[in-house]
A and B are shown apart, each in its own frame.
Chain A
C-alpha cells in the first residue's frame, strides 16, 4: 500500500494519561490482592471457597497485568 494513502499512527493510550491509569489499575489490583491475602490468612480448611478465591485472583491479576504494562510504559520501557 502506498504510504501517502495511510494516516499517521496514533498510540492507543495517550502518554499523558499513563500515570493516572497506572495508579488506578495497580491500586485496584493491589486492593484485590490484599483481599485475597486476607481470605487466605483467615480461612480454615473447612470454610474455603475455591470459586471466590479464583474470582478475586482473576480480577486482581487482570488489573495488575494492565497496570504493570502501563507502569513499564510510564517509566520508559516501551514494550
Chain B
C-alpha cells in the first residue's frame, strides 16, 4: 500500500510540468545558407518551488545538423550553460542552467540562438546559368516544446526581393513579401508538431568549406605565423548545361547570381606579410584593405563558383607575438582564434587547427571555448630543429562563423632553449672548419719532394733567424734608451743594470742563433750555415764599442749626443744593414 502510494506520488511529480511556456516568439532567418533560429521563450514557473533549470526542445532534424547553440537571459549579455540530455519522443532535449533560481509563479525570458547548417534543399536541384536558385525549408509551424505553450508565433524570413513560390498554410498564417508568419497559436500542448514547407528564392551562394586547415606556428623570436588551407565547394543547385563567360559578365543580376564571385576575409589588424595562392601560384585578383581595426582581404577566386564547382586556396599572414603570447617566468600562454573569419555565413564541414609550438615545450594544456576533438600530437621537424616541434591537432566538425572564438594553449618553455638554434648553426659552421683543419693535416703527395721540404723548412728557420736578429737589435735600442735616461737621472746603478740586461739578452739570442744555425746546417748544408754564422759576428764591432759608448755617456754633460755617441748610433745602424744583407744572401 505504502509502495503504491510512493509510485503514485512519483508519477504525479513526473506528470506535472514544472514550467509553462507563456509566450514563444521564434524567428527563422533563412536568407543565407545557414538557418539562424532565434527564439525568445517566456517561461513561467508552475512547479512546487524555485527552479534553476529549464529544458529546451529541438526537432530531430534540427539537432542532427545543429552547429551552434547559445542561450542567454533576454536583455543581459551573459551566456548560460547548455547541456544535452537524452531525447524524448522525437525531440532532442537541451538543459539550460539559469544560474539564479526562479521563484514559483515567476517568469523568466530567455533567448536561444541556433545555427543549423545544410538543411535548405535546393529545388530544382539543377539549374541553368541564367536561372535563379530556389530552396525548400522544412520546419514545424509549432515551436517544438516539452511544455504546454500558451501563445506562440513563428516568423520565417526569406530572401529580400526574392520570389516566394509556396508555403504550407497553417491557419492563422500569412505570407508577406519577405516573410512567412505562422501564428499566433494559442494553447498548443507539449510535443505537438505541424510540418511546414517553404519554397522560396535564395540566391546566396551555398558555399561550404569541406576542410579548413589552420596552422598557427609560434616562434619565440617574436612572430606567430598563421596559414589556412581552405577547400570550397558550392553545394547549392548544381549548374546544368554550359557555362558562358560572356553571359556571366553580362548577367544583369550582377552580384545576385547564385555563384560565389568574390568575398572578403577579415584578418586581425596586426596581420602583415599576407599571401593568397593556390596550387598554381599567386592569385593576383585580390586586394588588401587596411581598416581601423582589421585588415580586409578581398578575394576573387580564379573562376566564379557555380553549383557543384570547387576550388581550394591557401592564405597566410604573420602576427606579432606580443599581441597573442603571454608569459611569466617559464610559463607561456598563447591566446588566439581557434577558427577565424573566412567569409560571412560560411559553413565549415571540418576544421583542423594545428598549433606548432617551439621545440622542448613541456606541460602543454589546451582550453577551448567549446568541445573539440583533440587528435594525437604530431612532431614537425622544420628549420634548425633537432627532434621536431610539437604539433597540437584540434578537430571539429560543422563550424559556423559563431565559432570564431579565442582558445588558450599554456605550456612551459625554458628561455635557455632559445640559444639552441644559433648554437646549432654555430656547430654546423664549426664542423665545416674542423673538416678543413683535419683535411689540411693529411699529406696527399704521391712522391715525396725532399728539395721542396728542405726549402719549406729553411724558410721557417730563416724566419726564426730574422726574429733573433730583430731582438738583438732591439736590445741595442733598449741600451741606447737607457743611456738617454741616464743623462737626466745620472743614476749609475740603473745604467749598470741596463748594461747587464743588454749583455744577457745578446748572449741569449746568440745561443738561440747557434742552435738554429746547427739545424740549418743539417737541413740546407754547410754553405748556408757558413753564411748564417755571420749573424753571430756581424755586430762584433758595435759590441766592442759598447763600453766606450757608455763611458762617453757618463762623461757627457749635454743632452744632445756627442760625436762618440753619434758614431755608436751609426754603427748600430750599419750592423742592422749588414745583418739584413746576410739574411738576404742565405
Q: Residues on A close to B: CB < 8 A?
A: 1, 3, 5-13, 15, 29, 36, 40, 44-48, 50, 53-54, 57-58, 60-62, 64-66, 68-69, 72-73, 76-79
Q: How far apart are the CA atoms of A67 and B408 in the complex, in Å? A: 33
Q: A7-B326, A9-B327, A61-B433 are in contact. Are A48 and B441 (CB under 8 A)?
A: yes
- Report whether B219 and A10 are in contact in the complex, using a CB–CB cutoff of 8 Å: no
Question: Which listed residue (B322, B418, B423) contacts A10, Cβ 8 A?
Answer: B322
Question: B112 to chain A: which residues have CB within 8 Å?
Answer: none
Q: Does B436 contact A (CB under 8 A)?
A: yes
Question: A44 to chain B: which residues have CB within 8 Å?
Answer: 456, 459-460
Question: B434 to chain A: which residues have CB within 8 Å?
Answer: 57
Q: How far apart are the CA atoms of A58 and B219 in the complex, in Å? A: 27
Q: Does B422 contact A (CB under 8 A)?
A: yes
Q: A3-B326, A6-B326, A8-B326 are in contact. Are A78 and B225 (CB under 8 A)?
A: yes
- Report whether A65 and B325 are in contact in the complex, using a CB–CB cutoff of 8 Å: no
Question: A8 to chain B: which residues have CB within 8 Å?
Answer: 322-323, 325-327
Question: B424 to chain A: which residues have CB within 8 Å?
Answer: 65
Question: Which listed residue (B327, B382, B430, B443) contacts A45, Cβ 8 A?
Answer: B443
Q: How far apart are the CA atoms of A10 and B460 in the complex, in Å? A: 56
Q: How far apart are the CA atoms of A76 and B318 in the complex, in Å? A: 9
Chain B residues numbered 425-475 whose CB sits less than 8 Å from any CB in chain A: 425-430, 432-434, 436-437, 440-441, 443, 456-457, 459-460
Q: Does B395 contact A (CB under 8 A)?
A: no
- Report whether A11 and B220 are in contact in the complex, using a CB–CB cutoff of 8 Å: yes
Task: Return the CB mask of B545-565 against A: 1 if under 8 Å, else 0.
Answer: 000000000000000000000
Closest to A5 in B: B328
Closest to A50 in B: B437
Question: Which listed residue (A1, A58, A68, A76) contacts B273, Cβ 8 A?
Answer: A76
Q: How far apart are the CA atoms of A60 and B429 in the complex, in Å? A: 8
Q: How far apart are the CA atoms of A1 and B436 in the complex, in Å? A: 51
Q: How far apart are the CA atoms of A79 and B219 in the complex, in Å? A: 6
What range describes how many residues of B lie at the interface? 35 or more
- Report whether A40 and B436 are in contact in the complex, using a CB–CB cutoff of 8 Å: yes
Question: B505 to chain A: which residues have CB within 8 Å?
Answer: none
Question: A12 to chain B: which residues have CB within 8 Å?
Answer: 220-222, 415, 418
A64 to chain B, nearest CB (A): 5
Closest to A64 in B: B429
- Report whether A64 and B222 are in contact in the complex, using a CB–CB cutoff of 8 Å: no
Q: A11-B222, A40-B440, A48-B441 are in contact. Are A65 and B422 (CB under 8 A)?
A: yes
Question: Which listed residue (A1, A61, A68, A72) contacts B410, Cβ 8 A?
Answer: A1
Question: A6 to chain B: which residues have CB within 8 Å?
Answer: 326-328, 331, 333
Task: Return the CB mask of B222-233 against A: 1 if under 8 Å, else 0.
Answer: 110100000000
Q: Residues on B close to A: CB < 8 A?
A: 217, 219-223, 225, 273, 318, 321-323, 325-328, 331-333, 335, 382-384, 408, 410, 415, 418, 421-430, 432-434, 436-437, 440-441, 443, 456-457, 459-460
Residue from A45, A54, A65, A76 whose CB has the most chain B CB atoms within 10 Å: A65
**A6-B333, A9-B322, A58-B430 given; 15 more Cβ-contact pairs under 8 Å:** A3-B326, A8-B322, A8-B327, A11-B220, A44-B456, A57-B433, A60-B429, A62-B426, A65-B422, A68-B425, A72-B384, A76-B273, A78-B222, A78-B318, A79-B421
A76 to chain B, nearest CB (A): 6
B359 to chain A, nearest CB (A): 10
B520 to chain A, nearest CB (A): 13
- Report whether B422 and A7 are in contact in the complex, using a CB–CB cutoff of 8 Å: no
A61 to chain B, nearest CB (A): 4
Q: How far apart are the CA atoms of A57 and B323 in the complex, in Å? A: 40
- Report whether B384 and A61 are in contact in the complex, using a CB–CB cutoff of 8 Å: no
Q: How far apart are the CA atoms of A7 and B325 in the complex, in Å? A: 9
Question: B335 to chain A: which residues have CB within 8 Å?
Answer: 3
- Report whether A69 and B430 are in contact in the complex, using a CB–CB cutoff of 8 Å: no
Q: A72-B383, A79-B383 are in contact. Are A57 and B437 (CB under 8 A)?
A: yes
Q: How far apart are the CA atoms of A1 and B326 in the complex, in Å? A: 11
